[in-house]
């Protein structure tokens, strides 16, 4: 596993959506700003050495444990890019400074169809120190499902669950007796 840090001279717009046009930096896209199109972009790219991770399980279905601590500047996107066919069955980021806010980890798909988990560390007066831990497993079927649903908004299919729950309730005889009783009260029948 390797880590890469992209440092900018000034704040820049970035996107995690692979359809956006702009300069590709790892799993994200640096969005073009019209006034900067002719200027050379000053980005310092620092690659950290490769690190062997603890692996369990069979060689056909390895399970990788990842744990690290990072110190990063404000307004930084942290991304953990997984190898093709691997998912994070567990991932957690914990800030070391106790501010009450914990980073929300979201799923994205890179330009080369690899899953990555990311979050944005917002502005503060100092740097952010955080721990990340992940359990990464090879699961090609779940990987394909996540590739296709990475940008789906959670909770948008609740109508189907609600319809089924109402259907079960309406099918019960108790529901009809309660409905007849309510109807009798509304129209004044004993």
With cut-offs at 50, 70 and 90, classify the pLDDT of residue 188: low
Residue 2 DSSP one-character state: -
Q: At what angle do helices 158-171 and 173-187 cross, to 10 degrees?
A: 80
pLDDT tens sequence across 131-168:
889 999 999 999 999 988 877 665 555 555 555 666 66
Reply yes or no on whether the pLDDT at 180 is more than 80.
no
pLDDT of 155 reads 57
**pTM for the predicted model, two decimal places:** 0.67
With cut-offs at 50, 70 and 90, classify the pLDDT of residue 170: low
Q: What phi and psi values does residue 12 have, to the nearest 5 degrees?
A: -135, 155
Which residue do the tokens 């798909």 mark?
109
Domain extent listing, the chain: 3-149, 158-187
Which residue do the tokens 């590709």 mark?
24
Please tell me the least confidently modeled range out of 44-48, 76-80, 123-127. 123-127
């Amino acid at each position: 596993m390797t880590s890469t840090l992209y440092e900018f001279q000034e704040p820049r717009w970035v996107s995690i959506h692979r359809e956006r046009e702009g300069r590709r930096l790892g799993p994200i896209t640096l969005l073009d700003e019209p006034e900067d199109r002719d200027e050379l972009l000053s980005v310092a790219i620092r690659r950290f050495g490769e690190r062997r991770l603890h692996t369990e399980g069979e060689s056909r279905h390895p399970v990788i444990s990842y744990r690290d601590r990072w110190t990063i500047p404000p307004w930084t996107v942290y991304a953990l890019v997984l190898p093709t066919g691997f998912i994070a069955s567990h991932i957690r980021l914990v800030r070391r400074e106790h501010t009450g806010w914990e980073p929300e980890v979201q799923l994205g798909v890179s330009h080369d169809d690899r899953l990555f988990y990311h979050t944005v560390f917002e502005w503060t007066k100092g740097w952010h120190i955080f721990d990340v831990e992940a359990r990464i497993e090879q699961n090609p079927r779940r990987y394909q499902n996540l590739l296709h649903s990475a940008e789906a908004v959670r909770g948008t299919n609740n109508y189907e669950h609600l319809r089924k729950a109402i259907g079960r309730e309406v099918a019960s005889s108790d529901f009809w007796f309660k409905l007849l009783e309510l109807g009798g009260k509304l129209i004044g029948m004993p």
